[in-house]
Amino acid sequence: MECSGCAVRDLIVEFKMDGDLNNQVFPDIIEFIQSRTLKLEENNRHFTLRENDAKDFVDYSIDHLDITKISYKIPNKDWQPFYKIEELFKVEWVDSVIRNEQVIIYYQPIVDKNNKTYAYELLSRFLDEDGEILYPGQIFSAAKERGRLYALDRICRMTAVKYAAKLDNKKAFINFIPTSIYSPEHCLKSTNEVANRLGVNPRNLVFEVVETEKIEDVNHLKKILAFYKARGYQYALDDVGVGHSTLQMLEDIKPHYMKLDMKYVQGVTSDKEKQRVALQFLEKALEIHSIPLAEGVEQKEDFEWLKDAGYQLFQGYYFGKPLPHPLEYK
């Protein structure tokens, strides 16, 4: 079984049209559609085109059809009104970024209570055709628009594993989005193969779940984490809050590491509510034998408070910003 969506292929666009004008004109454009379409349902004016042909159809539609009665969709996405299709075409550049693997990794240190480097989080950065940096928000938004999140997440994971192989026996935290993995056995196969080929110690790879509080399918996440665990990898939960559903999920998953959301870290020294949350989080982490990690630390006083409270690992600009090379702390 091939991981559909993990490779960047020609984008397929489905159209459906209705309305008196469109029905009247349809016989005049049927030859064009029939010569290019991958699938045609003539009775209900529903057809499928490759992207380049779709662009031609869009140009024609703007001049000759009632575009308010036309909608489109791409694989694994919902139907959209016609006027939004230009946004789909505008971000076509993201296909080249993924296909050509224009990805580099920045390292951000994770330190222990003695300010010694314990690990690095490996953060993806992307390059445009001129070699200029494209930041994650820009690239992930474009990938989402074109249904390329599976492919983007895969190439980020594989590139991070390659960079992790360069570290001197330090752990590497690698982000992944659970919804971009529909089948662990197939979607994660290439990531596992790269790690094995490069001889990376599985215990030095920590796969980090991002957007923990947005997870809806806990059973799906458990399957992914079971795949990692069975192969000797570790895993972490990012941006963990203290809601009832999140705490219950922690009981089920028991991550090796738990990251306290930075909104509870920054200013914790002088905020009683943040202190309450941080201590509750710490108690839960220790209860399930997970290592508590405070992220987003920017001030010395917050670091000292969290350290005195019992936190074991720390990450943030106070210790080091993401850099294109590892930074050791003496």
244 pLDDT more than 60: no
**What is the pLDDT of the chain when averaged over all its residues?**
88
pLDDT band for position 330 (cuts 50, 70, 90)? very low
Q: How far apart are CA 170 and CA 172, in angstroms?
A: 6
Tokens found for residue 244? 């009832």
Mean pLDDT value of segment 286-310: 97
For the stretch 272-307, what's the b/e string if a residue is b when 16 or more beta carbons lie within 10 angstroms of its beta carbon?
eebbebbeebbebbeeeebbbbbbbbebeebbebbb
Question: Considering only CA atoms, which of 156, 213, 158, 149 is closest in space to residue 181?
Answer: 149
Residue 42 confidence (pLDDT) above 70: no
Q: With bands split at pLDDT 50, 70 and 90, how would you rate the model's confidence at 241?
A: low
DSSP string, 278-310: HHHHHHHHHHTT-EEEEE---SHHHHHHHHHHT
pTM of the model: 0.86
The residue behind tokens 């994971």 is 157
Range with the lowest mean pLDDT among 208-217, 226-235, 240-249, 258-267? 240-249
Q: Give Cβ neighbours of residue 212 (< 8 Å, ≥ 6 apart).
A: 237, 238, 239, 240, 241, 246, 249
Rounded-to-integer distance, Cα 208 and Cα 210, Å: 6
Domain ranges for the chain: 12-90, 93-315
Distance between alpha carbon 50 and the CA centroid of its chain, in Å?
26
Please check whether residue 119 is in contact with residue 146, taking contact to mean a CB–CB distance below 8 angstroms.
Answer: no
Q: Above 60 in pLDDT, residue 54?
A: yes
CA pseudo-torsion sign 113, 117, 121, 124: positive
Residues 93-315: name the CATH superfamily.
EAL domain (3.20.20.450)
Work out the percent of the chain whose per-residue pLDDT is above 90.
62
Per the model's pLDDT, the better-predicted residue between 6 and 123 turns out to be: 123
pLDDT category at 108 given cuts 50, 70, 90 is: very high
Give pLDDT tens digits for 188-237.
788 889 999 999 999 999 999 886 556 777 888 888 888 889 999 999 98
